[in-house]
């Protein structure tokens, strides 16, 4: 744990400029960007947070000084933020910064076309050492317990990096066409014939982790893997069309190239697998992962039992409603009422509806009873996760409860079902002639989707007018916005003991001192945050757009 008293900070101006002009806002954005590119970046790439002296830095876990992070809000997110700043200002400093972030991603792109969570600029030996120390000793971070040596769709890292390549190509930066082609090919080649996507690809021979079969081969809905891939492919189809084909690379699977027809076929199969994996009534839901052959729900990480999951079901219902909007095909909403009825049937009893939660996360197939997740032990060596029917003392780091708006989904369904397919799908970028829609202007002011094509994707509620003045004043003399770093981690001190260390770790985010998992501290220090940078740059972009609220 680090303490605030150990770090010195540059002074921050005390008086905010209430209504800064365009020149002052642009100067602030340029200074902030220069700090990130010149001091925080490692060969153009970023992690998530840094101590001001850069003595420690973190992505989802503590990172080595040579590492950059692909997961948002890492290198891809920063590239998008810089490109958004370029769109708002026309200043090439931001375009060059976006290209530098993209270059860092290209250097770490897997030969198959996707990305891992992290890139180590010092090479594979350094990355392997990190996995063998920080990675495999992060008790709750099982996805980091080994270096798979392949790429992942998890946590939108590959999707965000791929979209950055697409945006730069459309900006006229042809250097990124080959990396974009590899990224598209990765999404196409990794898809199962039935339309599902695994979490990681290409597959590796030795997939065993902690005695389990390799869950990363399973058809994955966790973290919206299918939705992210479909969104990227819709962007590609609409903006690139057959412009991928003349320069396509060999695809590796039956020699198929990057044609518009193949992209469209992959999109259709990616939507249809959501229909195929919906389970029979009365348990008409989905799991986080499904077996590629039987299409039944499967277990994954040790705190993810074989179960139907309520939040995944709600997300897949939303996807089916979106697919109807995309296609006008009523197949996609035919079984939506069954899924919503199932969600209502497994809602929490009144006595468990605390803090707005409405549903248990996991439901056992067959019994329709909830599983609640617990753990015992003190670190990854001696600890274990288990499921039972006890709703008390559940994990803090992985919720056994969810807050779902089933009524809102019913309203959406009723509205769409009352319309004709032609009405619903009017303006769909999937049905429109390729090349007639543009990407959203901004990618970091709010979440974007295919429904935002052709729009600026501004914030629904712009920041108050005084916000720009606050940000101009708050940028410190070094050029960053000091931000409380509320997450920290134990430094790596070696593998934990086989016998649990004294203490109670059932409901904590971190185990004993050997656990390198991140946790929230009561003693945050001020440091550098990419998330804060992206948010603040977005506020300043909104101010430049001239519609800040009074």
Q: Residue 462 has what DSSP assignment?
A: P
**What is the C-alpha radius of gyration for the chain, rounded to an integer number of angstroms?**
24
> Reduced to 3 states, what is the DSSP secondary structure of residue 14?
coil
Angle at 341 between CA 332 and CA 405, to 5 degrees: 85
- The residue to which tokens 């993810």 are assigned: 304
pLDDT beyond 90 at 209: no
Q: In what order do the strands lie in the sheet with 483-489?
A: 57-58, 49-50, 518-529, 483-489
CA–CA gap between residue 171 and residue 159 (Å, rounded): 18
User: Which run of H or E residues covers position 183?
Assistant: helix 177-190
Asked if pLDDT for residue 87 goes beyond 70, the answer is yes
Q: What is the pLDDT of residue 243?
A: 74
For the chain, the helix, strand and coil percentages under 3-state DSSP, each to the nearest 5: 40, 10, 45
Tens-place pLDDT, residues 234-284: 999 999 977 776 444 444 443 357 788 999 999 999 999 999 999 999 999
Rounded Cα distance between 260 and 435, Å, is 12
Name the residue among 515, 516, 209 with its Cα closest to residue 379. 515
What Å distances lie between residue 372 and 254, 345, 352, CA to CA?
A: 45, 17, 12
pTM: 0.94
Question: Please, what is the average pLDDT of the chain?
Answer: 92
Which pair of structure tokens corresponds to residue 108?
């770490």
User: What is the model's pLDDT at position 13?
Assistant: 45
- CB under 8 Å, gap of 24 or more: what pairs does 39-42 form? 39/478, 39/479, 40/480, 40/528, 40/530, 41/100, 41/101, 41/104, 42/66, 42/67, 42/68, 42/104, 42/121
More confident residue, 245 or 444: 444
Q: By mean pLDDT, which of 197-206, 392-401, 533-542 is the weakest?
A: 197-206
Q: 457 to each of 84, 182, 313, how far by Cα in Å?
A: 11, 27, 27
pLDDT higher than threshold 80 for residue 548:
no
> Residue 355 — left, alpha, or beta (φ > 0 → left; ψ -120 to 50 → alpha)?
left
């Amino acid at each position: 744990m680090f303490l605030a008293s150990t770090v010195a900070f540059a002074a921050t101006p005390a008086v905010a400029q209430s209504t800064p002009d365009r020149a002052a806002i642009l100067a602030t954005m340029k200074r902030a960007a220069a700090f990130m590119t010149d001091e925080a970046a490692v060969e153009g790439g970023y992690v998530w947070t840094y101590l001001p002296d850069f003595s420690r830095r973190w992505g989802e876990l503590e990172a080595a000084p040579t590492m950059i992070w692909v997961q948002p809000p890492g290198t891809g997110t920063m590239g998008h933020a810089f490109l958004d700043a370029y769109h708002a200002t026309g200043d090439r400093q931001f375009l060059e910064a976006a290209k530098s972030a993209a270059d860092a991603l290209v250097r770490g792109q897997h030969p198959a076309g996707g990305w891992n969570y992290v890139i180590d600029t010092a090479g594979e030996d350094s990355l392997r050492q990190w996995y063998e120390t920080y990675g495999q000793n992060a008790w709750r971070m099982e996805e980091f317990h080994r270096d798979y040596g392949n790429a992942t769709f998890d946590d939108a890292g590959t999707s965000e990096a791929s979209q950055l390549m697409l945006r730069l190509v459309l900006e006229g930066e042809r250097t990124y066409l080959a990396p974009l082609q590899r990224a598209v090919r990765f999404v196409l080649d990794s898809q199962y014939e039935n339309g599902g996507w695994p979490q990681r690809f290409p597959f590796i021979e030795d997939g065993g982790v902690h005695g389990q079969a390799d869950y990363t081969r399973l058809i994955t809905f966790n973290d919206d893997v299918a939705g992210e891939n479909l969104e990227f492919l819709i962007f590609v189809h609409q903006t690139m069309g057959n412009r991928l084909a003349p320069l396509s690379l060999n695809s590796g699977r039956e020699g198929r190239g990057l044609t518009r027809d193949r992209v469209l076929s992959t999109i259709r199969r990616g939507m249809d697998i959501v229909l195929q994996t919906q389970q029979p009534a009365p348990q008409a839901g989905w799991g986080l992962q499904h077996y590629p052959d039987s299409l039944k729900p499967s277990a994954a990480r040790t705190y993810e039992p074989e179960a139907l999951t309520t939040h995944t079901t709600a997300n897949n219902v939303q996807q089916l409603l979106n697919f109807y909007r995309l296609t006008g095909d009523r197949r996609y909403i035919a079984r939506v009422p069954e899924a919503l009825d199932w969600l209502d049937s497994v809602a929490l009893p009144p006595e468990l509806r605390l803090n707005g939660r409405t549903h248990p996360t996991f439901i056992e197939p067959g019994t329709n009873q909830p599983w609640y997740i617990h753990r015992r032990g003190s670190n990854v060596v001696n600890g274990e996760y288990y499921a039972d029917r006890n709703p008390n003392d559940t994990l803090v780091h992985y919720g056994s409860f969810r807050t779902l708006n089933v009524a809102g989904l019913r309203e959406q369904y009723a509205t769409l079902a009352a319309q004709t397919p032609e009405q619903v799908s009017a303006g769909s970028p999937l049905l429109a002639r390729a090349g007639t829609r543009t990407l959203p202007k901004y990618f970091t002011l709010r979440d974007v989707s295919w429904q935002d094509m052709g729009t600026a994707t501004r914030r629904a509620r712009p920041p108050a007018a005084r916000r720009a003045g606050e940000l101009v004043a708050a940028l410190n003399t070094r050029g960053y916005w000091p931000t409380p770093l509320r997450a920290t981690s134990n430094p790596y001190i070696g593998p934990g003991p086989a016998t649990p260390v004294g203490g109670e770790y059932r409901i904590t985010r971190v185990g004993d001192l050997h656990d390198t998992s991140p946790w929230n501290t009561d003693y945050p220090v001020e440091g550098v945050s990419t998330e804060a940078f992206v948010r603040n740059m977005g506020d300043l972009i909104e101010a430049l757009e001239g519609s800040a609220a009074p």
